[in-house]
Amino acid sequence: MPDIKVTPLGAGQDVGRSCILVSIGGKNIMLDCGMHMGYNDDRRFPDFSYITQNGRLTEFLDCVIISHFHLDHCGALPYMSEMVGYDGPIYMTHPTKAICPILLEDFRKITVDKKGETNFFTSQMIKDCMKKVVPLNLHQTVQVDEELEIKAYYAGHVLGAAMVQIKVGSESVVYTGDYNMTPDRHLGAAWIDKCRPDLLISESTYATTIRDSKRCRERDFLKKVHETVERGGKVLIPVFALGRAQELCILLETFWERMNLKAPIYFSTGLTEKANHYYKLFITWTNQKIRKTFVQRNMFEFKHIKAFDRSYADNPGPMVVFATPGMLHAGQSLLIFKKWAGNEKNMVIMPGYCVQGTVGHKILNGQKKLEMEGRATVIIGTLDVKLQVEYMSFSAHADAKGIMQLIRMAEPRNMLLVHGEAKKMEFLKDKIEQEFSISCYMPANGETTSIVTNPSVPVDISLNLLKREMALGGPLPDAKRPRTMHGTLIMKDNSLRLVSPEQALKELGLSEHQLRFTCRVQLHDPHSDNDTLGRIYTHLKSVLKTYSIQHVPDGTVIVESIVIKVTSSAEEPNLKVILLSWSYQDEELGSFLSTLLKKGLPS
């Protein structure tokens, strides 16, 4: 049986370094090529030696597809293509192609320039790698080669995020990447048509969460910010440069506009300006409101949000600051946090997930005293956390209900979960199997799952045969019901054809043979042979109303191709022997008749 093989190199029962290998119809595809935030050693990249021990990957992979620009989905790309070696096509959407090199360069700078690592990819490598990228449009079917085609669907999550359908022949796989089923302030909801793939590979970050209405969270967020600003406090919102940051900016911007507030909002990073530029450009990828109003005003041209300068942190009066990074583990956000932590009027709002060990994680767990280490000099002091700490999940991943909704939209035959924690996946897996009665898999990294498919085999059917069959068939509304038909399958020169038996005989130069079954049925009947036959005739006539039944004068009854004769020996005139003979084609009817006659005739 043909099958689809899936092997996660990363993101199998884990979040981070998404990299999934799929073999479908003899094609090998790599889905995403990300890095892991939690590691600084070799484990941060997927283990490409799984594919081949030595040499380049080009000959083993038909294509690489990147779903969106987050580093855990594209961070290992230059490493794979330039350092390991891959020259094939890399597919990603236009916004991803535009923004991804910025993030990669940023990542490289931090690793090489700040941490001083060597043996890392260089700027030139990023550029070379991006040269191999083939951009995709939404809903555009791209033919990778003659057999393999891919198509992108809108996924929400971040600007340019896409779900990809991979199709070889009639087998297909859909990879969701990260997606969001509820729209937010700048992006729409993920959407896919009813493509009924053999396998749907879905992320499952929020496998055990069903989120409340998004509006409650927005209201709470705005209320908290507003209150703090009203009483003269400062609000710190640690974010990562791209994605949530833009959403929250729009949220605050419109709120400020609406309420005519004057307190300044700052955004602290150089990277964002470049990225905002792309947000302004890729309007078609945003949500309805932004798409419809950008002619009057592009929502990403913020009026109230200005660039942050380090000195502003000490300004008196209320302000709102977006600062990177999002988990308060380093950089500007931590710096500002330290300055503002002592005042109970201030507030920090954590809009997303925080990894264990970061300051963000600590304060979210209610720690009131933090031990701080200064950079370079080892000054250890404690910091009292007096400001208010709020958590508000603005994560743009689908929740359990969203995942279910996507499954319902696409109607896959099998399901495979990646990009989530094993325990939570387990839970969702049960739910999916219960709900949709389809099998669901959740392989760990390096573990291969193979899914048996049942691809349909295309066969050419001769028009004459089809027309003949149509003529026989009933009215059209039955067209959807399966119907059996007789024909001869000719497999020749790598092609399959279904033709009528006569034509097949003619083509192959064979003469026709007939296969007939005969059967004797013994029956006690006191009448003469002819009368018995007559009675059989009337009996059959009453049973088989829709068939043509003939009573031929030479002492036979003919039902379609079935011949029935009655004989009796001289010794026992009452014991009639009924001879039945039918052709192979009428096997069904013949066996029915024989059993019918065995039961005897009605008196």
Partner 1 sequence: MSAHINHVVVVLQQVSLEEVPAKKLRLTKPSKSAALHIDLCKATSPTDALQYLLSFARRPVEAESVEGVVRILLEHYYKESDNSVRLKIASLLGLLSKTQGFAPDCIVDDAINTLNNEKSHQVLAQLLGTLLIIGTQLPDKIAVVQRLIDVACKHLSSTYFGVRNKCLQLLGCLGTVDKPLSKETDAGPGAQTSHVRDVQSVISDYFQDQDPRVRTAAIKAMLQLHERGMKIQQTIYNQACKLLSDDYEQVRSAAVQMVWVLSQLYPESIVPIPSSNEEIRLVDDSFGKICHMVSDGSWVVRVQAAKLLGSMHQVSPHFLEQTLDKKLMSDLRRKRTAHERAKELYASGEFSSGRRWADDAPKEKVDTSGVNLIDSGACGAFVHGLEDEMYEVRISAVEALCSLAQSSPSFAEKCLDFLVDMFNDEIEEVRLQSIHVLRQISTHITLREDQLDTVLAVLEDSSRDIREALHELLCYTNVSTKDLAVPVCSSLSSIPRCSTPDPGAADYIAVLVLVFNAAKSCPTMPALFSDHTFRHYAYLRDSLSHLVPHLRLPGRKQTASSGLEASGVGSGSLESAQNFLQDSLVRVSALQNLETPGAQDLLEFTIRDLLRLGELQTELAGSADFCATYLHCQLLLTKALQEKLWTMAVPLCLKQNAKVSTAARQILDETYKLEFLYSGLETQQIATIHNIRLQAKALQLILTARSKPGVDRVLGACEKFLQDVESFQRLFMTELPHFQDSFVEKLLELMPRLTTCKPLDLVKILQTTLRQSGFIHLKLPEQIHRASATIIEPTGESDNPLKFTTGLVVALDIDATLEHVQDPQTSVKVQVLYPDGQSHIIHPKPGDFRTPGPGRVRLITQVYLSHSAWTEACQIEVRLLLAYSSSSSKQSASKPAWNESMGGLPTSESCIESTIHLSKPVKVFIMPKPARR
Active-site residue numbers?
203
CA dist., res. 273 & res. 284, Å (int): 19
Binding mask 266-295 for partner 1 (x = CB under 8 A): ---------------------xxx------
CA dist., res. 381 & res. 386, Å (int): 16
Side chain identity, residue 132? K
Exactly one of 216, 452, 459, 496 binds partner 1 (CB under 8 A); that residue is 216
Which 3 state secondary structure label does DSSP give 93? strand
Look up tokens 């030595």; give the residue: 54
Between 361 and 541, CB nearer to partner 1: 361
**Residue 552 CB neighbour total at 10 angstroms:** 10
Task: Please give the helix or strand (H or E) that residue 277 lies within, else none.
Answer: helix 270-281
Between 98 and 363, CB nearer to partner 1: 363
DSSP designation for 574: T
The torsion defined by the Cα of 582, 588, 592 and 598, in degrees rounded to 10, comes to: 50
Which 3 state secondary structure label does DSSP give 416? strand
558 binds partner 1 (CB under 8 A): no
Between 210 and 489, CB nearer to partner 1: 210
Residue 6 in tokens: 């899936």
Neighbour-count burial of 466, counting CB atoms closer than 10 A to its CB (0-12 exposed, 13-18 middle, 19+ buried): middle
437 binds partner 1 (CB under 8 A): no
Between 316 and 477, CB nearer to partner 1: 477
Between 214 and 541, CB nearer to partner 1: 214
213 binds partner 1 (CB under 8 A): yes
According to DSSP H, which parts of 392-472 are helical?
A: 400-410, 422-436, 463-472
Which 3 state secondary structure label does DSSP give 49? helix
Q: How far is the CB of 210 from partner 1 (least distance, A)?
A: 4
127 binds partner 1 (CB under 8 A): no
Between 98 and 265, CB nearer to partner 1: 265
434 binds partner 1 (CB under 8 A): yes
At residue 490, φ and ψ (nearest 5 deg) are -110, 120
Residue 562 in tokens: 């079935």
Q: How far is the CB of 310 from partner 1 (least distance, A)?
A: 29
DSSP designation for 170: T
CB of 63 closer than 8 Å to CB of 250: no
Side chain identity, residue 527? H
CB of 91 closer than 8 Å to CB of 100: no
Residue 528 in tokens: 């003469």
521 binds partner 1 (CB under 8 A): no
Binding mask 219-258 for partner 1 (x = CB under 8 A): x--xx--x---------------------------x--xx
Q: How far is the CB of 174 from partner 1 (least distance, A)?
A: 14
Touching partner 1, residues 446-465 (CB under 8 A): none
| Strand 556-559 versus strand 265-268 pairing type | unpaired
203 binds partner 1 (CB under 8 A): no
Q: Is the sign of the CA dihedral 323, 325, 329, 330 positive or negative?
A: negative
CB of 186 closer than 8 Å to CB of 246: yes
Scanning 206-214, 240-248, 335-343, 515-523 for contacts with partner 1 by CB under 8 A, the matching segment is: 206-214
CA dist., res. 603 & res. 600, Å (int): 9
Between 30 and 364, CB nearer to partner 1: 364
Q: How far is the CB of 137 from partner 1 (least distance, A)?
A: 20
Q: How far is the CB of 91 from partner 1 (least distance, A)?
A: 24
The residues, any chain, with a CB within 8 Å of residue 467's CB and separated by 6 or more, are: none
Scanning 84-92, 367-375, 430-438, 460-468 for contacts with partner 1 by CB under 8 A, the matching segment is: 430-438
How open is the CA angle 297-300-302, to the nearest 5 degrees? 85
Exactly one of 218, 302, 325, 442 binds partner 1 (CB under 8 A); that residue is 218
Exactly one of 431, 541, 551, 565 binds partner 1 (CB under 8 A); that residue is 431
CA dist., res. 216 & res. 228, Å (int): 18
Between 216 and 307, CB nearer to partner 1: 216
Q: How far is the CB of 428 from partner 1 (least distance, A)?
A: 9
Exactly one of 64, 99, 189, 320 binds partner 1 (CB under 8 A); that residue is 189
DSSP designation for 15: S
475 binds partner 1 (CB under 8 A): yes
Binding mask 345-384 for partner 1 (x = CB under 8 A): -----x-------------xx-------------------
Q: How far is the CB of 286 from partner 1 (least distance, A)?
A: 11
Touching partner 1, residues 386-425 (CB under 8 A): 391-393, 395, 399-401, 404-405, 408-409, 423-424
Scanning 139-147, 171-179, 210-218, 593-601 for contacts with partner 1 by CB under 8 A, the matching segment is: 210-218
Instruction: List residues binding partner 1 (CB under 8 A).
Output: 182-183, 185, 188-189, 191-194, 206, 208-219, 222-223, 226, 254, 257-260, 287-289, 350, 364-365, 391-393, 395, 399-401, 404-405, 408-409, 423-424, 426-427, 430-431, 434-435, 475-477, 479-480
